[in-house]
Each structure stands twice: as C-alpha cells, then as structure tokens.
A and B are shown apart, each in its own frame.
Chain A
C-alpha cells in the first residue's frame, strides 16, 4: 500500500498532526492494544469518515478499501484483526453490510459516540448527493434531452443488476460438485419467485430455516468436538 508509513523505529523525530499515528504505536502496521489505546477526538474521527463517505465512489469494494486504508494503515485506530472481525460480523446481520461494519468499527474506536460519528460521516455525503441527484431527476422530468439520457441510463442501471448477481454468486458457488449444488439451489429460489410467485421475504426466511436445519447439505460439517467445543469447517469458502 503506497500510503503505508515508514516504521517508527526508523523515524526518531516525534510526529504531530491528526494524520499521524500515535507515537506510542508499537508496530508500523497495527494500532496499539485495543485495551490501552486512547480514542481519537470525535471531530478528527468524523472528518476521516466524511472523507471515506465522500470518496468511495463505485460501490462496496471501494468503500472497504478506503476504510481499511484510512483506519488500519494510515491512522492505526484499529488493528487488522478488529477490522476483519467487524467485516465478518457485518455479513451476519440483515441490511447494508457497510453501515453495520461502520457502526461496529466506530464503537471499537471510540465507544457509542464513535459509532454515531462514524455513521454520520459515512452517510452524510451519500445521502446529500443521492437526494440532490434524485431531485434533479424530478426537476428535469419533461425535458427532452434529460429524458433521452435517462432513456439510456435506466436500462443500463437495471441491466447492471445482472453483473451484481454474477459477482455475488461467483463468490459463493465454490468448486466442483459444490458449484453444481449452489447453482441448482439458486435456480430453485429463483423459480420459487418467478413461477411460484412467492413473496421474496418468504423465500429468504425459508432458505434460512432450510440452511439451519440441514447445514450438512451445504457441506458445512462440524469437526470432531474438542475440549473447547466444535469448530465447523466449510468447503469452498474464501477468507475475507
């Protein structure tokens, strides 16, 4: 990463300023021990999240990249381990993953108010610009030029959903037989909506119950119970 700072040992001059890691950092890569480090001022935290919120254009991947670069590598407010834990946990709750990750990382960095400040910083630019664009679309309704341009943009945006399906699906299908099984299950759920006309929430809830009842169907097998309890492993799962 090009923004990574030089190791502290190689830099005897004390550094100051919000952009620098605390001088007490024991490691060039990681934040201080979560138990002993001091949280940054909420104002500085907000500014950094405002930057993440404003500059992460083009979807989730760029936001994740910005968050890791700013919080783990640049400011060292979080350890890489904490970042990974927040990432994994945010996948387990419904709704937008990145907002969940933001709330959790905000609390890790600076407690309850940290969560509020980080979320506000992430959402403010997005919500303002989204509303502004939507207002523009409402305002130009009836304008021929705008309608012609939207006539091209709307099908493209709808079609891009296929790309998201492919990207999301590609990360989950696994290899070999697992791939056939995954594609088959995705097809069954699609047909349940397309031909069965089932409400989507019903399909999702049913899927959750099915997966909880028959995890072995998906290749999720608990390993031999040890003294500390069972640790399940899963085939075809990438690490974040």
Chain B
C-alpha cells in the first residue's frame, strides 16, 4: 500500500457514492474487511475527528488517510475528495435537460435509499466493534445517536466531548 493505491481506494469510494458519509460503507468494506489497512477503531477515530473539525463531515477521509499513512495519506484523501465534485461543472451545462428527467429522478432516489440502507449496515458494524470491547462502550454507541436525534439543537461535538469524559472515568 502506498499513497497512490490509497488515493485510488478513496477515489473509488467517492465516485461511487453520494453525500458526505456515503463513502463510509465502501471504505469500511475495502479498507477494513478487504485490505486490512485500517481498523474499525481508526474508522471511529476519523469519524470523530471529522465531526470536531470544521467543514463538511465527508472530510473524515482526510483523518482516515492521515491515520493510515500520515501526511501523504491525508493529501491523497484531500485530492480524492475533490475530484468527484468536479463532475458538477459538465453537469451544470446539461442541467436543464437532465434535472427533470424521470429516469434521472428515479435513479437518484433509488440510490438515496441504497445509501441509507448500506450506511445502516456500516453503523451496526461500527457499533458491534465497539460493543466487543465492553458493555459500557455499547451503551455509549447507542446513547450518542439517541441524544443527537432527541435533542437536535445540541451540537454533536458536545456529545463527543461527553463521551470522552465518560471514557476517561470508565476506562482510566
């Protein structure tokens, strides 16, 4: 594995998915289960970093790249995150013809369902990996989304900070 092969994995995940975390199911499958370049813990760490840092959450792949391969990995991930978005330029030229096409609308909607379905599987994978460590970790993994969903005005960053405090008390 080097920066180029890592770049290609990130690029593939970006080109074949929609939305910030859409790439996550593909990357967990390829990097964790497939190549074994990353661990589930590293995925969790990069998701946390992506949440704490400003900018799109989809840039969690920059943290993941860094954890796997250092600055070169972060650079590879940054480049890979830009390229799929460039497709918006040619698309804007044909927008008026394409946007209302029933086949395009149907395809986008079905892909939206598939992104949600596959991301749900990834969420269970990450939670199961956390639960393997301890019961308390499982409780944290289940409580965090509940809090965010029930209290939408609370910034998720504070939920992560609270989880850090709980971790400190429980694990130290």
Contacts and interface: CB of A to CB of B under 8 A. Distances in A.
A175 interface: no
B24 interface: yes
Nearest to A128: B53
A67 to B, nearest CB: 11
Contact of B71 (A131, A144, A211, A212): A131
B32 interface: no
Interface stretch (A3-11, A21-29, A35-43, A160-168): A160-168
Contacts of B1: none
A197 to B, nearest CB: 10
Interface size class of A (residues with CB under 8 A): 35 or more
B121 to A, nearest CB: 5
Contacts of A231: 100
A31 interface: no
A145 interface: yes
A185 B47 contact: no
B63 A60 contact: no
A160 B49 contact: no
Nearest to A161: B123
A94 B171 contact: no
Interface string B83-103: 111111101100100111111
A115 B138 CA distance: 43
A220 B85 contact: no
Contacts of A53: 54-55
B20 A98 contact: yes
B74 A130 contact: yes
A74 B88 CA distance: 25
Contacts of B8: none
B55 A63 contact: yes
A61 to B, nearest CB: 10
A169 interface: yes
Contacts of B48: 153-154, 156-157
A176 interface: no
B38 to A, nearest CB: 12
**Most chain A CB neighbours (cut-off 10 Å) among B105, B116, B118, B155:** B116
Contacts of A134: 45-46, 49, 62-63, 66-67, 74
B165 interface: yes
B107 A209 contact: yes
A9 B71 CA distance: 52
A96 interface: yes
A88 to B, nearest CB: 7
Interface of B: 12, 14-26, 29, 40-41, 43-60, 62-63, 66-67, 70-71, 74, 78, 81-89, 91-92, 95, 98-124, 126-127, 129-131, 133, 137-138, 140-145, 148-149, 155-157, 159-160, 163-168, 170-172
Q: Which 7 A-B pairs have the closest CB atoms?
A: A152-B167, A211-B110, A126-B55, A215-B106, A95-B84, A189-B117, A158-B126
Interface of A: 53-60, 63, 85, 88-104, 107, 115, 119, 122-123, 125-127, 129-131, 133-135, 137-138, 144-145, 147-169, 172, 182, 185-190, 192-194, 199-201, 203-218, 220-222, 230-232, 234
